Structure formats: structure tokens, C-alpha cells
Structure 1
Amino acid sequence: MREAVDDFADHLARVRNRSAHTVRAYVTDLVSLLDHAVRMGCADLSELDLTALRSWLAKQRTMGAARTSLARRAASARAFSAWAHRAGLLPTDVAAALASPRAHRELPTVLRADQAAALMDAPRRAEERAPGDADSGPNEAAGTDSGRQPRTPPDSGTGHTPDGGAEHASDGPAVEEAVLLRDRLLLELLYGTGVRVSEACGLDLTDVDHARRVVRVLGKGGRERAVPYGVPAQRALDGWLGRGRPALAGPGSGSALLLGARGGRLNPTTARRIVAGYAEAAGLPRTTPHGLRHSAATHLLEGGADLRAVQELLGHSSLASTQIYTHVSVERLRTAYRQAHPRA
């Protein structure tokens, strides 16, 4: 069975072109399924049947798995069963008839337009308040107990930083300015284009078309798309490339657009911490890079953008994934109506 798991993982990565994260999730589900099947008496993969699959899902349910998790695990089982049948490892596609609960899709939390503007302005406010003291040390949470703006930005490069670097500690104010410029660009890209955090961190210098104000993004499944960005993002980009990136760049920078404190490519985990830190410092609700993506899509639709155009910008393979934002817009309209109309 172990060999079948390895072959299936190789199929997902090489043939289906799935991301490492997706492959890891599918393999984790499959190992759990096969372990359960063995406990039920399946000595060989060919003995796997629909009863074992349903029993596995039922056990997951009793252990408290959410509907979304059950739906994903059922999808993993169906994908493996179909592949194993084609590969001759299963006499029939035993999971073809496997039903899964319909995942309850919650509406994403989005920022209001004024809240998004406040978040975009947070690095500039941090720059105005920064004392320029290289010994002040970074505030990794990007906030203080009093809720005021931090003295130094997240991942400031002074002392211990979220991505583990202290190479530029002696540079002091120059590095602090560079990180603030980097943070400003990161926020503008995430909100201004709606790209995923992994896509933003994966951008190279050559992916930016300055003349047309477009970035070339490599999304899920290796699908490439061109996403426009606005004037504020262009200003942030000019500042970062002119004064910020040269202060952080080192031998390991390569062609990466966004850099961490050690000069390497900015890590998505650090990017998430940066976004959360500035949101907290600005007194905003808990915000993530994906929350900025949700906000960008919602604000585009509220501004009159075509649903198909938003689908193209976000890189959704299915229009159903984009339609969730129309529900967000309607719900926000309904909330405003209830709050404002005397006959609501």
C-alpha cells in the first residue's frame, strides 16, 4: 500500500500539477483512509470497498471533523480510487458512489474601503513615527499593548527578525526605511491586485511590466495570468526599487521582487505576520493576506466590475468560486438597509 501512496503522490505532482500543499493534504487523507481499511480487515489494496470508505468518513465525523474537512477527505478518496482503478490496483472505482456532505460556505470577512485605506497608510504612519534608533529592536507583533503604532516595523532587520536575519543590524535607519518601503509595497500588491500571498512572494523583478502597470502571476496549477495594479502600487514599487530593495539585497536575493531581512525572498509566513501586525497597529479587525484578497474582490464588484473580469483577476478556475463575493456585496447592502431604513 505504501508504494501505491507514493505513486499517487507522484501522479498528483507530475501529471496533475498540484501544489506541494495539495499533495501533502491528499496523502495525509489517504494514509488515514488506508490505515482505517487495514483495521477493518483489508489485507490488500484490492480489497478496499465502499463500506470501508463510508466507515472512515463516519469515524472522522464522530471525531468532530468539520463538514469542509469531510468534503475534502471524500474528494481525496474519490481521486485516489479513480487513479487506482485506472492503474489496475482496484478492480472497480469503489469511491465513484461515495457521497460527501455539502460544505457550508461562510461569507468571507472583508474590510470596508476606509479600513483598507487605513491599512495601506499604516507603513507611512510608522515611518513618520519611527525614531530611527537602530537599537530599538523590532516589534514582531507590529503593535503595542496600548494599541499605538510600533516604533519599528515587523521584520525590521534590526536584531532578531521574523525571518531570522540580523545581517543588516548595523545599517539601522536605512534598513528600517527599506523594510517600511517593502511593507508598503506588499500591502499595495495584496489589496491592489487581489493576488494570493504565495503569488506575491513568488514575484520576480521580470514579472513586473512597468509600462503597462501589470504583474505576471503564476497561480494554482501553474496557470499564468496578468493582473493590473494602480498608481498607488506603482509609487510604492518605485520607492521600493529605488531606495528599499538595494538596502536589503544580498548574494541570495536573486531576482526576487520582495525580500526579507536577510536578503532572501520574502516568506509567505512573514508576509502574513506583517499584514496582521499593521492591521492590529491601525486598530482594524484581524486581517490576513487572504482577507485583503476577499476585500479587493468585494470592492471591485461593489464598484461595478464584471464578475467574469473579477474571476480572471483572481485566477479562479470556476466562476462559482468568484460568485461568493456577490453574496458578500448583497449581505453588506442588506445590513446597511437594516441599519439605515426606517421601515427595515
Structure 2
Amino acid sequence: MLTPDQNVPESGESPDMPGKVLARSPRAALTTVRRDPRDLWPEHARRLYDHLIELYGEDDVLPTLAAAWIAHQRSVNTQKSYARGFKVFEEFAREHGEHPMAVKFVLADTFRLYLETTPTWVRVKGGRRGEMVRAGKPYSDASRKNALSAASSFFVYLDKVSDDGVKNPFDAVQRPYVDPTYSPTPGYTEAEWARFVAVARDEHRVAAYRKRAYALLLTLYTCCLRINSLLNARVEDLGYDKGHRVLLLEKVKGGGRKKKPIPPVTWDALMEYLNGRTTGWLFCTASGGQLDEPAVWRLLQSLAQRAGLPLRGPHGVKGDAVTHALAKPGARPDKVQQWADHKDARTTQLYNRRRELLDDSPGYDLGRDVAGALEHGEA
């Protein structure tokens, strides 16, 4: 495995052992191809590469290897999550005077402790554009687990691409336990969802965007979609198959393509929103650009405030859809699992358990008994 400070001649021949060819560095290997493979890297790999190049320069192998590792991930969500977590790890290693690829167990375990107490980055109120300061709350359990998982995954990748093998310093590092039945995002009832959708259709503060907001919410909810899948869809992906209006998704969780049936109410909302448009992003900006996730976050927060409901983000929409589908009389968990693109039935059942922990709480029965006793003077 090449170390960060190892200098390999462009010829690949060892200067100390003539005739013996060394493994080329990623930078040197890329110069031998006619087209730079980095041109094909996905967005988050390119962003991480540019970020690391500014810090380490082109002579260091880290930017290329780290970006190639991100590009290696199938899911766009995983690419984004791992790139974000790796930046936290890289900053920690650099501040402690160590190259990220040279980190050993002691420093890796210290990174775990660092994440428990260090403040997160937040924007400076009234500051310059993009100005940030570490003044936020410490990393959540989920964020700490993500950063540790990202760093570990990077070393797993290095081991795969190395001829000599690389020991993963995070193998023995304990990660936070994240309760799979807990979600910080507040869930809506079906009645609250009806209110939410009605506000999008009739009360969104910008009247010109009401049709888009209404169609977007209905598509997310009734088609049980992840937000990145919907935002990557194009108008050309709408179609017809065996009597069903469908949306052909390029990427669902785990990769691949899938046809999602579109209910009539959602199809009507989409057609009214598109108003005859036949090309471009399915949900786009006023200039025709791709609508991004932060814009959807802002939309849902604004609609929740107008509807008098708890604030939420786009990732909670799919959870509500699965929960409500499972609660229907005669619901088949296997059908819901397939509809929700869950590879594992246990994932689908998690939504059931979250709902049951609230709906079937014995505390409600005890509360009613106490209230009844108080009302009849039995206490």
C-alpha cells in the first residue's frame, strides 16, 4: 500500500531495485488513460476531491482514493452521508497532526471521544455568506455513528484496493447504539396529513408554487418515495404500464430501477402542475433547474407552520406512508415492504413497532382508570 509520502517514479520502476516495478500511485495511473475517470465521478465524490485537493495538493494520494471510495458507493444517500462523515474525521486527524491514512487505533478511538463533546458547525448569524463556527450542540448518536462508519468504510476500501492489505483502525472502536424503534421526526396521523396536503394546495404563501407543492407532497406520500429518488426523476420517466400510470425511478435504495404506480389523485395533481410540459426535471425550479433537498426542507417547514403541525423534513413523509399503510385493516406487511422498497422485512416491521409503542401504550388504559376514579370520587 502506498503511504502518503511515498514517491513513485512515473515509470513505475524502483530506483533502488532496477527491474522491479512498483505499484503506481493513483495520480500516476490516471495519466496513462486517454480520458480521466474522475470526469465520471458522481457529485459527492467530485466535491470531496476538490475539498481535499485544496488541503493536500495533487501530489497526495488521499484526494483520489477518498473520492474513488465515495464513487464506489451505490446509493447517492450513502455517498452524501459518507462524504460528510469523512470530512469530520479528516478535520480531526489533521488537527491532531496525523495524515488520515496513517491513523492508528489509539487516535481512532480518541475520535470517538472527540465526537461526544465537540460542538458542531453552525452558521454565523449575521455573518458573511458561508461563515461557520463550532458553536452548535454536540453530535447526535446517529451523526457520531455515521462519522465512525464512514471512517471505517474508508479503511475497508483501502484494504480492498491494496495489494498488501491495510489494517482498519476502527475495527475495535465502539460505536453508539441507535435505537431502531426511535425516530426524532414527529409523525402525522392521516387526518393531519390531509390537512398538510390541503394547506399545500390552497394556502402555500406563494400562489404560483401551490400546484408544485401539492403534487410533490402527494407523490412523496402516495408513492412512498425517498426524497432523492423523487428529485432525480424527470418528466420523461412518467409512463403507462398494464393499465397503470407509473413513474420509472432510476435509483431506489440499494441501486437499480423500479416502476412505481401512481394513484389517480396524484396523477391528476402532476398533470395540472406540469401543464403540458413533457421534458426536464419532474420537480424543477422556476428557471427549470433541479429542485434540491434543502428547498423541500424549507417548503415542508413552511407548510407545517401554516397547518399548525409539528415541523418535519422530507424523510418523515415515507415513514408516515408506511405506518399508515400498515395500519389499514387487512394490510399485508409483505406488500407494504415491496411498495416501500425495503429489502428486509424487519425494516418494515420497525414502523409497526414504532406505531404500536404509541397507539397501544398501556398508559392510556391506566390514565382512563385514574380519570374515572377521580371523577366518581373513588380516590
Distance 1:99 1:71 in 2: 9
Tell me the equivalent position of 2:227: 197
The question of whether the paired residues in 1 share the 8 Å contact of 2:93 and 2:100 is answered with: no
Distance 1:44 1:201 in 2: 34
Tell me the equivalent position of 2:351: 325
Unpaired segments of 5 or more residues in structure 2?
5-55, 119-137, 371-379
Question: Cα offset for 1:284?
Answer: 2.2
Structure 1 counterpart of 2:154, which letter? F
Question: Cα offset for 1:339?
Answer: 6.3
The question of whether the paired residues in 1 share the 8 Å contact of 2:227 and 2:315 is answered with: yes
Distance 2:314 2:99 in 1: 46
Is the alpha carbon distance of 1:29 and 1:90 closer, same or farther for their aligned partners in structure 2, counting shifts above 3 Å?
farther
- Three-state SS of the structure 2 residue aligned to 1:299 is helix
Tell me the equivalent position of 2:187: 110
Structure 2 counterpart of 1:200, which letter? L
Tell me the equivalent position of 2:112: 57
The question of whether the paired residues in 2 share the 8 Å contact of 1:26 and 1:76 is answered with: yes
Is the alpha carbon distance of 1:118 and 1:24 closer, same or farther for their aligned partners in structure 2, counting shifts above 3 Å?
same
Question: Cα offset for 1:220?
Answer: 3.9
Equivalences for 1:185-334 in 2 at 5 Å? 185-210=215-240, 211-217=243-249, 218-241=251-274, 243=275, 246=277, 254-303=279-328, 304-334=330-360
**Deviations 1:261-319 (Å, cap 9, x if unpaired)?**
22333333222322222232222222322222221111011114333333333333444
The question of whether the paired residues in 2 share the 8 Å contact of 1:275 and 1:287 is answered with: yes
**Deviations 1:229-267 (Å, cap 9, x if unpaired)?**
3221022123223x3x65xx9xxxx42222322233333
205-214 or 187-196: which moved more? Answer: 205-214
Is the alpha carbon distance of 1:284 and 1:69 closer, same or farther for their aligned partners in structure 2, counting shifts above 3 Å?
closer
The question of whether the paired residues in 2 share the 8 Å contact of 1:12 and 1:23 is answered with: no
Runs of 4+ in 1 over 6 A off after TM superposition: none
Tell me the equivalent position of 2:175: 100
Q: 1:14 aligns with which of 62, 66, 71?
A: 71
Query: Higher RCO, 1 or 2 (CA under 8 Å, sep at least 6)?
Result: 1
22-31 or 81-90: which moved more? Answer: 81-90
- After TM superposition, the score normalised by the length of structure 1 is 0.71
Is the alpha carbon distance of 1:180 and 1:339 closer, same or farther for their aligned partners in structure 2, counting shifts above 3 Å?
farther
Equivalences for 1:103-142 in 2 at 5 Å? 103-105=178-180, 106-107=182-183, 108-126=185-203, 142=204
- Three-state SS of the structure 1 residue aligned to 2:360 is helix
180-189 or 326-335: which moved more? Answer: 326-335
Structure 2 counterpart of 1:196, which letter? R
**Deviations 1:101-120 (Å, cap 9, x if unpaired)?**
21244234211111111122
Equivalences for 1:150-169 in 2 at 5 Å? 150=205, 152-153=206-207
The question of whether the paired residues in 1 share the 8 Å contact of 2:325 and 2:336 is answered with: yes
Distance 1:284 1:22 in 2: 28
Distance 1:332 1:32 in 2: 41
Distance 2:234 2:145 in 1: 36
Unpaired segments of 5 or more residues in structure 1?
127-141, 143-149, 154-175
The question of whether the paired residues in 2 share the 8 Å contact of 1:45 and 1:89 is answered with: no
Question: Cα offset for 1:215?
Answer: 1.5
The question of whether the paired residues in 2 share the 8 Å contact of 1:197 and 1:290 is answered with: yes
Structure with max Cα Rg: 2
**Deviations 1:53-76 (Å, cap 9, x if unpaired)?**
112212222324332222222212
- After TM superposition, the score normalised by the length of structure 2 is 0.65
The question of whether the paired residues in 1 share the 8 Å contact of 2:81 and 2:146 is answered with: no
Question: Cα offset for 1:124?
Answer: 3.8
Is the alpha carbon distance of 1:338 and 1:50 closer, same or farther for their aligned partners in structure 2, counting shifts above 3 Å?
same
What is the root-mean-square deviation of aligned Cα atoms in Å?
Answer: 3.0
- Three-state SS of the structure 1 residue aligned to 2:244 is coil
Is the alpha carbon distance of 1:84 and 1:343 closer, same or farther for their aligned partners in structure 2, counting shifts above 3 Å?
same
Q: 2:152 aligns with which of 64, 70, 78?
A: 78
Structure 2 counterpart of 1:216, which letter? L
